[in-house]
Amino acid sequence: MTDTKGKVVGVNGNMVSVEFDGVISMNEVAYVKVEGSSLKSEVIRIRGNTAQMQVYEMTKGIKAGDEVEFTGDLLSAELGPGLLGQVYDGLQNPLPLLAEKAGWFLERGIYVDPLDREKKWDFTPTAKVGDVLKAGEYVGTVPEGPFTHKIFVPFYLLGSYTVKSVAEKGSYMLKDTVAVITDEKGNDVNVTLSFKWPVKRAVNCYEERLAPTETMVTKVRLIDTFFPVARGGTYCIPGPFGAGKTVLQHTTSKYADVDIVIIAACGERAGEVVETLTEFPELKDPKTGKSLMERTIIICNTSSMPVASREASVYTSVTLAEYYRQMGLNVLLLADSTSRWAQALREMSGRLEEIPGEEAFPAYMESYIAAFYERAGQVRLSDGTTGSVTIGGTVSPAGGNFEEPVTQATLKVVGAFHGLSRARSDARKYPAIDPIQSWSKYKGVISQDKVGFCFNILKKGVDVGSMMKVVGEEGTSLDDYLVYLKEEMLDAVYFQQNSFDAIDANATVERQMYDLDKLLRILGSDFAVSDKEEARTYFNQLRQKFIDWNYTEFQSDGFKKLEKEIDDLYASKNGKLTAEAESLLRA
């Protein structure tokens, strides 16, 4: 705490106006004293000697004259070993410990240390006396789950530091000194296993920011093949309520080719949050065979926290992601849903009486959203390794309207757009990503020529389907009807997956390439069918064989048996490749 004190002069919802005497900073943490409790708050505007603060607790009972204490610290996250497997609220309180201390109906004003102060960690020194280090370089390591956790020179230190001493290999608690470093003026700094970092300030302790060119494989065929996401890139999943955003995030968390997953439930409805909290500890990590929670962090707010706390969740989660990126790890941050964060910004902007923008959202909302997504990226570190933060945010536009401000602001800054369709969701198609509306700026795992060929079939088939709604099947030529059947088959056997089937949900790159080539042979062939009835029966048989094939383990006996049946069925109608398809398959 500092000597700066203040007194409440106004209360407007969860915004409190405070007159203060001294020096304070934007984003500084303060505590409002009320009914024997200290309520955590953050300074969001300063006008002369009056500050507006957003309170991260319910403000019932606060009145003019109540005392306020300023800490001198910015809203920060504690960084150190022990973060993995935790479930935090937006202020980094461990929710299980909070429940033990306060009961399941959480009282306001109760805060718990983010990391266990008593637990000992096996420290192995890597720095030597005389080494010159800077912020973001490390003095040693400790094991944390399946990873080697680096003990950094704190990110907030400027300039170069000489290692004066390093602790021997052994077990140490979080606040034990494991190294002493000296700055250029001869001042000593103690390095412990943990330190704090302001959540609204990006971590920039790297040598170079790299272009996101490597694909982050999600094992979802529609994404990896047609709308890929780059490692260190950004993407958004807008869609109406109930369209499958949460299921898609769960599947991505489980199978994506990343080291660590951070789930930021920054305002999602209670049902989805409870589902996340109960299912994630039960999910089996396909990489290790253990619980997926061992490499996951979940951040979500309690129902006793006001809307403004959604903002804290967003920034805390991205700070933790940057911390693990600094260790040379690949991190996936899933924010669900940024619409409610934007609604929190709108609510606070209204209380601040700022001039509103479109649909009453603050005029600066776009820059806030852009700044958040800009904290994604792939970087090269001082030891030559690379790490990345990939950010995927869901958006919940009212009525599925993608023209609303939050969706449009997000589309301006992300590299891929996976738009969920109500029609596809209602038809029980998973994922419900609309292949016509969606797009990606990144390079995928499949040849772009093959992808382009499939897209051409898709668009032609959709056009024929639209025409058939007007003129009926009878008014459609056999050639057009075959295109329609091919598009339906592409959708059914490649775009759609069964998230509950361990094999179908986990489509490796090798299998995606193999399957698409097999499918492309059918899409790019002419068949000897006499009428539409024969064509429909034939493609229904092919489609079912392919779906059954998707459920068999790659290159297993069952896989090869079904593949032969597909090949025989293909040959039964004298399937002949067009010149274009033959050229693509040879490439």
**Which residue numbers belong to the known binding site for ATP?**
239-246
- Residue 367 CA to chain centroid, in angstroms? 19
Return the CA Rg of the chain.
27
> Would you state the structure tokens that stand for residue 229, as one six-digit string?
């996401």
289: CB partners within 8 A, 6+ apart:
none
3-state secondary structure of 493: helix
Q: How many CB atoms lie within 10 A of CB 279?
A: 12
> Would you state the structure tokens that stand for residue 392, as one six-digit string?
């995927």
Cα gap 27→41, rounded to integer Å: 9
Q: How many CB atoms lie within 10 A of CB 468?
A: 16
Spell 474-501 as b/e; 16+ CB within 10 A means b: eebeeebbbbbbbbbbbbbbbbbbebee
Q: Are 261 and 269 within 8 A, CB to CB?
A: no
DSSP state of 416: E
Report which secondary-structure segment, H or E, holds 572.
helix 557-572
Annotated binding site: 239-246
3-state secondary structure of 296: strand
What are 209's strand-pairing partners? 379
Q: What is the 3-state secondary structure (H, E, C) of 21-88?
A: ECCCCCCEEEEEEECCEEEEEEEEEEECCEEEEEECCCCCCCCCCCEEEEEEEECEEEECCCCCCCEE
3-state secondary structure of 110: coil
Report which secondary-structure segment, H or E, holds 160.
strand 160-166
Cα gap 114→132, rounded to integer Å: 31
Distances (CA, A) of 238 to 55, 131, 138, 242, 332: 30, 49, 39, 11, 18
> Would you state the structure tokens that stand for residue 33, as one six-digit string?
């004293």
Q: Are 31 and 39 within 8 A, CB to CB?
A: yes
Cα gap 464→487, rounded to integer Å: 10
> Residue 493 — φ and ψ, nearest 5°?
-100, -15
DSSP state of 222: I
Cα gap 267→338, rounded to integer Å: 8
